[in-house]
Amino acid sequence: MRPLLAVDDLAVEFPTDDGVVRAVDGVSLRVGRGEILGVVGESGSGKSVTAMSVLGLVRPPGRVTRGSVRFDGEELLTLPARRLRRIRGGRIAMIFQDPMTALNPVVPVGVQIAEAVRLHQPRLGRAAVRARVLELLASVGVADPARRYGRHPHEYSGGMLQRAMIAMAVANRPDLLIADEPTTALDVTVQAQVLGLLDTARRETGAAAVLITHDLGVVAELADRVAVMYAGRVVEHGDVHQVFTTPRHPYTRGLLAGRPAPATAPGDLTPIQGSPPDLLAPPPGCAFEPRCALGAGRTVCRTSRPERVAAAGGHVSACHLREEPV
Ligand SMILES: Nc1ncnc2c1ncn2[C@@H]1O[C@H](COP(=O)(O)OP(=O)(O)OP(=O)(O)O)[C@@H](O)[C@H]1O
């Protein structure tokens, strides 16, 4: 069946005074209808830039230099801005890490959600729009929505604001939700509530989701499939259970080994040594080679880019020394 979202060989560059940053360099992803794809990887691996490209939100001088982003079969990268705007906030909605960046600080939260509703349902009357906003706010657990309707973003707590953002995102029953670190800025106790709510809202609307996170536990719990990013590329992609139980890429193995397990003492963690490469001058071979337990120093890893290879069940990995499942 045709995937809802198909990203192929996407590349995004940012020209800077020091040279060109190759932030995303050949990313391919698939998201099926109603499915949750978790996207993980260290800071700077290109997760946010990939998400922004899907919605045409990469700001100049950053630019998409190659690739394709098809949503429900339609190419988004060449879509006129006006049509893309109609898809954004409609069939595709985004939730950012910091709601304050997405909201207007001088407009009451309820009014902003009402604007989102009206944008895609212009024939709805004033009272019906307001009723819909109150219903949305109540559905995400915002207490006393009638009173909160007129409050400004700074009068909301971080958790409440992220709830309101979820309400706004699902207002038009999107087919795809893109959530970029939606709970990172929140207290740990609120994080779980907001994630649970996001999942409920998603299930109620039947939306698929791309969930960008640092938290492998969240991916294990919520996602159906996972894409592991490293230095602007997807190094492993597949069913969550399969990838987490039988990782094929040494980077994924390293991430999983470095993951704090409840029963693990801090000293038992084995974080991956070293740091990601400079994206101004990425290495010619495998970007993970200098840090790789298996490939460091090997000629093939230093000199040639590993191709993506698919194994059984659509489990894709890009490694010259790909490990067979154990
Ligand atoms: N406007 C920009 N100008 C120059 N470089 C940029 C710009 N935006 C992003 N980058 C670079 O692109 C790379 C990928 O960034 P991105 O924000 O996608 O990473 P990420 O995986 O989402 O990280 P994090 O987990 O910290 O959010 C980084 O090296 C970043 O410095």
Outline which parts of the chain fall under CATH 3.40.50.300. 5-91+176-317
Q: Tens-digit pLDDT profile for the chain (326 aa)?
A: 789 999 999 999 999 999 999 999 999 999 999 999 999 998 899 999 999 999 999 999 999 999 999 999 999 999 998 899 889 888 999 998 888 888 999 999 999 999 999 988 889 999 999 999 999 999 888 889 999 999 999 999 888 898 999 999 988 889 999 999 988 878 888 888 888 888 888 888 889 999 999 889 899 999 999 999 999 999 999 999 999 999 999 999 999 987 765 554 444 445 688 888 999 988 899 999 999 988 888 999 999 999 999 888 889 999 998 755 43
Q: What is the pTM of this model?
A: 0.91
Closest-lying ligand 1 atom to the alpha carbon of residue 214: 25
So what's the pLDDT on residue 271?
66
DSSP state, residue 155? G
* Alpha carbon of 24 to ligand 1 centroid (Å): 9
So what's the pLDDT on residue 268?
45
Tokens 């700001």: give the residue. 59
* Alpha carbon of 46 to ligand 1 centroid (Å): 6
CA-to-CA distance for 28 and 70, rounded, in angstroms? 11
CA-to-CA distance for 210 and 29, rounded, in angstroms? 10
SS3 annotation, 91-106: CEEEECCCHHHHCCCC
Closest CA to 182 of 215, 207, 149, 204: 215
For residue 23, give both structure tokens. 């932030």
Q: CA 135: distance to chain centroid?
A: 27
So what's the pLDDT on residue 270?
55
Closest-lying ligand 1 atom to the alpha carbon of residue 229: 21
CA-to-CA distance for 254 and 249, rounded, in angstroms? 9
**Prior bond of 277 cis (ω within 30°):** no
* Alpha carbon of 96 to ligand 1 centroid (Å): 14
Judge: domain 5-91+176-317, CATH 3.40.50.300.
yes
Helix (H, G, I), strand (E, B) or coil at 45: coil
Look at the alpha carbons of 192, 197, 200, 205 in this order and tell me if their dihedral is positive or negative.
negative
Closest-lying ligand 1 atom to the alpha carbon of residue 41: 21
Q: Say how many C-beta atoms besides its own lie within 10 A of residue 167's C-beta.
A: 27
Closest CA to 20 of 288, 228, 232, 180: 232
So what's the pLDDT on residue 225?
96
CA-to-CA distance for 142 and 102, rounded, in angstroms? 19
CA-to-CA distance for 221 and 315, rounded, in angstroms? 19
Rg (CA), the chain: 21
Which residue puts its alpha carbon closest to atom 14 of ligand 1?
A: 46
So what's the pLDDT on residue 133?
96
For residue 116, give both structure tokens. 């989102």
* Alpha carbon of 1 to ligand 1 centroid (Å): 33
